[in-house]
Amino acid sequence: MARPSNIVLTVLNVISLVAGIALFATGIYLSVVEAGTAPCQTFLRNSLLVVGALLILVSLLGLVGSSGRNNLFMWLYALHMLLLVAGVVGFTIFMLVVTSQRHHGHRGLGDFSPWLRHHFAKGKNWDLLRSCLAQAQVCSVVKGVGRKLHNSALMVGCCKPPPGCGAENSLNATLAVLLADQTTAAAAAGNKNGDCGKWSGDPKTMCYNCDTCKAGFLGNIRKQWRAVAVALACFLAFIVLLLSIAWCAIANNKFDLAASSPHP
């Protein structure tokens, strides 16, 4: 008769297996169906594929070990879970460190860690992200654009003229009206703010090269990664639960095997 620990572990591993398949399938979808935008979703796609594959592998080990009461697979399962715990803890700490706020009250690039600036806001990395922002049309003309610009650090940094360029008060009901005279105004004020000369009324350019846009983007990254860190902490609790049940199942399997063995 199956022990409760084996039954619970089997059910939980079925759930994690389904979740792993869903994540892996989403990664495949982004790679194949959304191939046109794949360069803009590389990190997300690769993360989904790796996490999905790991969940599938670990869940299968747990299912074989718990349903078949096979301690060899249970030990392999427990080992992989321990490695997963170490990986999740390390990655969570890393995310919290690189997203820590360096200068309270400051909203420039200096507010972010060197790692974030180097990997997202410099060179070819930013060139790719900038093209993705333009492709996503984050500055597209929508109703109520003024309110949305004020509510989004990314849109304020990427879609509005930089502060001090003499064009901030030109914001009207739509972005089309805004663009009419701001390119000239920004160029005239270029010596006041390094970002002023980077602003353009071209929808493909806007202020995507501005430091304010980079800061807004990094602000979004910080917010999202902090949320992911919280989710990882919850996931860690789930892993520890599975690992605890796995140890119980291993001990129970040993006891049952010893009890069923013929005694001299």
Neighbours of 184 (CB within 10 A): 12
User: Among residues 8, 4, 52, 7, which one has the least CA distance to residue 28?
Assistant: 52
What is the average pLDDT score of the chain? 76
Mean pLDDT to the nearest integer, 153-178: 61
Residue 84's H or E segment, with its range, is helix 71-98
pLDDT at 56: 93
Instruction: Give residue 163's region: left, alpha or beta (phi > 0; psi -120 to 50).
Output: beta
Mean pLDDT to the nearest integer, 174-190: 41
| Structure confidence at residue 84 as a pLDDT band (50, 70, 90) | confident
Q: Does the pLDDT value for residue 182 go beyond 50?
A: no
Token pair belonging to 171: 């914001």
Q: Does the pLDDT value for residue 92 go beyond 50?
A: yes
35-80 residue pLDDT tens: 555 566 677 788 888 888 988 999 999 898 888 778 888 899 889 8
pTM: 0.72
Q: What are phi and psi of 260, to 5 degrees?
A: -85, -10
Measured between its terminal Cα atoms, the distance across the chain in Å is 24
Q: Could you give the CA distance from residue 86 to residue 4 in angstroms, rounded to a whole number?
A: 27
User: Among residues 200, 158, 207, 165, which one has the least CA distance to residue 183?
Assistant: 200
CA distances from 52 to 28, 48, 56 (A): 10, 6, 6
pLDDT at 147: 46
- Are 197 and 190 in contact by the 8 Å Cβ rule? The answer is yes
- Residue 36 DSSP class: G
Q: Is the dihedral of CA 58, 63, 66, 71 positive or negative?
A: negative
| Structure confidence at residue 257 as a pLDDT band (50, 70, 90) | low
| Structure confidence at residue 21 as a pLDDT band (50, 70, 90) | very high
Q: Does the pLDDT value for residue 263 go beyond 60?
A: no
Return all residues near 169 (Cβ < 8 A) that are at least 6 apart.
Answer: none
- Residue 161 DSSP class: P
pLDDT at 17: 92
Q: How many residues in the chain?
A: 264
Which has the higher per-residue pLDDT, 168 or 62? 62
| Structure confidence at residue 167 as a pLDDT band (50, 70, 90) | low
95-127 residue pLDDT tens: 899 888 765 555 678 888 888 888 888 888 898
- Are 155 and 216 in contact by the 8 Å Cβ rule? The answer is yes
